[in-house]
Amino acid sequence: MNTNIKNEIIKDLIKSNIKNSNDLVFFKRRIAKKYKISCPKNIELLKWYYSYLKEIKEKPSKHLEKLLKTRPIRSLSGIVNVSVLTKPYPCPGKCLYCPIEKGIPKSYISGEPAVERAKESNFNPYLQTQKRIKMLKDEGHQTDKIELRVIGGTWSYYDKDYQLFFIEECFRACNEMNLKKPKTKNNKKQKISIKNLKKEQKKNEKAKHRIIGLSIETRPDYINEKEIKWLRELGVTMVELGVQSIYDDVLKINRRGHSIKDTIKATKLLKDSGFKVLYQMMPNLLGSDLKKDEEMFKEIFENPDFKPDYLKIYPCAVLKEAPLYKIFKNGEYKPYSEKELINLLLDIKKEVPYYIRIQRIIRDISSEKIMEGGVKITNLRQILSEKMKKEGFKCKCIRCREVRENYNPKEKIYFFCDRYEASGGKEMFLSYENKDRTKLYSLLRLRIPSDPILKVLKNSAIIREIHTYGEITPIGKKKIAPQHKGLGKKLIKKAEEITKNEFNLNKLSVIAGVGVRDYFRKLGFKLKDTYMVKILK
């Protein structure tokens, strides 16, 4: 299609006074008929729209941008997620449920969006990062605040030189996003060093696309003092632990290779070092049952040895590429029915505390890949939402309460402080919410550690997370949204008061992502051993 036709379509779009998504659907059908073309996707219309505005030198309509944005929820949590997959590499685990596909990191399979993007880029971290950012921008999302998620196999088992290469390339990709020609490094040994990583991190502090958080996936038995120090050098702020179950007998049957003691130890080490902790849990494992799974989630919510900050629930699915498939075919394993799984997830949502975010409730695996065993629902979260409405209850998890697009500047907000014991330390979940706690505007996780292993955190309280929700507001700009309204600063002030007045500590440390170090400098914090530290007067 030539540029003139595209411009005519956009002129028509601007004149059509489109008010909602239904109007947009009718518009697309009309122009498809008029120009004898297939209905353009939102991403195409948005691209043509920006191109036309650039030509006539006018600013975009916020209303049209919002209508054309693809999957707006991707940036309604205040950040955008960029997932980057590592190369195929041996894994120490021999788990029954884990799929093994040639040319892909263990536990991942073809068809998953992140896997397909990685394959297209030959697993190059630089190209993956830039392509994903560009894709999000083309879909209409602000991309200056990036939560980088490194996925694939067991990260801590990978060669340290490769880890260094991978993370440096991700930072460099963000720093060089506006370059016309990517400068990829094919040889991992080419000028890769901790010194160069620090240079890229320093650049990212003021870059257009800042990495404000960085997470990796690993096993509980690979977390120790040495690993924690290394993760901080890389800039990691959150660790996804493959916990799967808290029952040793279930772990043993599924050949997981670690014990529940490893999970408890890893959780404590990570929290006392300021990391956010995410548990990947797998109900319906071989050797478990509905009652046991329900009790398992109650246990991780109530037992101080656990209490993760984030949760991913990946119900066990039978994949042909996994050893479990043979056991299933022999009739020795029976997956939950759709009804059983939905009822289990509803019970979990009824029990979840205010301070936990249920990040995901099912893997993004094509239903065609799942064999006869396992639920094939792709819109499970939507089904649960409808069920909760019918039953008249609301999930208290962070994700279900985020304010997102429902921000009302006139609505009164209140300060809350939830206190709980966890992993030998004291946790305070500070937040600004509406009166009935159905809208969460901003949060801060404050910890008084029991026994920090890092010298910089001795005699210090730790801010493990601070986050303001709602649509992303670009750095340095104002907008009708919760971000940049001072809520974060108020929570930090509250944290300082609690640290000094209640616990008689004069030091507050933050496990700040590289991209938000400047924010904390303006509040009197200074960089020390990868943490932002402030001496309280």
- C-alpha to C-alpha distance for 346 and 51, rounded to whole angstroms: 46
Dump the DSSP string for 269-321: HHHHTT-EEEEEE-TT-TT--HHHHHHHHHHHHH-TT---SEEEE-----BTT
Show the 3-state SS of 128-155.
HHHHHHHHHHHCCCCCCEEEEEEECCCH
> The tokens of 209 are what?
């696309």
Q: How many CB atoms lie within 10 A of CB 183?
A: 9
Domains of the chain: 3-68 (no CATH), 72-401 (3.20.20), 414-535 (3.40.630.30)
> The tokens of 206 are what?
């003021």
CA-CA distances (angstroms) from residue 123 to 116, 156, 166, 175, 331? 10, 18, 10, 19, 38
Residue for token digits 């240079």?
199
Residue type, 458: K
Burial call 195-226: b when 16+ CB within 10 Å, e when fewer: eebbebbeebbebebbbbbbbbbbbbbbbeee
> The tokens of 181 are what?
């020609």
- Nearest Cα to Cα of residue 532 among 450, 461, 483, 444: 461
Containing H/E element for 56? helix 42-56
Q: Residue 370 in contact with residue 377, Cβ under 8 Å?
A: no
> The tokens of 208 are what?
């257009």
Burial-class residue 412 by CB neighbours within 10 Å (0-12, 13-18, 19+).
Answer: exposed
The per-residue pLDDT string of the chain (537 residues; one tens digit each, 9 = 90 and over) reads 788 888 888 888 888 888 888 888 888 888 888 888 888 888 888 888 888 888 888 888 878 877 887 665 555 556 899 999 999 998 888 999 998 888 999 888 888 888 999 999 999 999 999 999 998 888 888 899 999 999 988 999 999 999 999 999 999 999 999 776 666 665 444 567 899 999 999 999 999 999 999 999 999 999 999 999 999 999 999 999 999 999 999 999 999 999 999 999 999 999 999 999 999 999 999 999 999 999 999 999 999 999 999 999 999 988 888 899 999 999 999 999 989 999 999 999 999 999 999 999 887 665 566 555 666 777 788 899 999 999 999 999 999 999 987 778 888 999 999 999 999 999 999 999 999 999 999 999 999 999 899 999 999 999 999 999 876 455 555 554 555 478 999 999 999 999 999 999 999 999 999 999 999 999 999 999 999 999 998
- C-alpha to C-alpha distance for 259 and 22, rounded to whole angstroms: 53
Q: Helical H runs in 392-510?
A: 398-401, 487-497
- C-alpha to C-alpha distance for 81 and 143, rounded to whole angstroms: 9
Q: Residue 447 in contact with residue 465, Cβ under 8 Å?
A: no
- C-alpha to C-alpha distance for 265 and 458, rounded to whole angstroms: 19
At 520, is the secondary structure helix, strand, or coil?
Answer: helix
Burial-class residue 426 by CB neighbours within 10 Å (0-12, 13-18, 19+).
Answer: middle
The model scores a pTM over 0.85: yes
Q: Residue 413 in contact with residue 434, Cβ under 8 Å?
A: yes
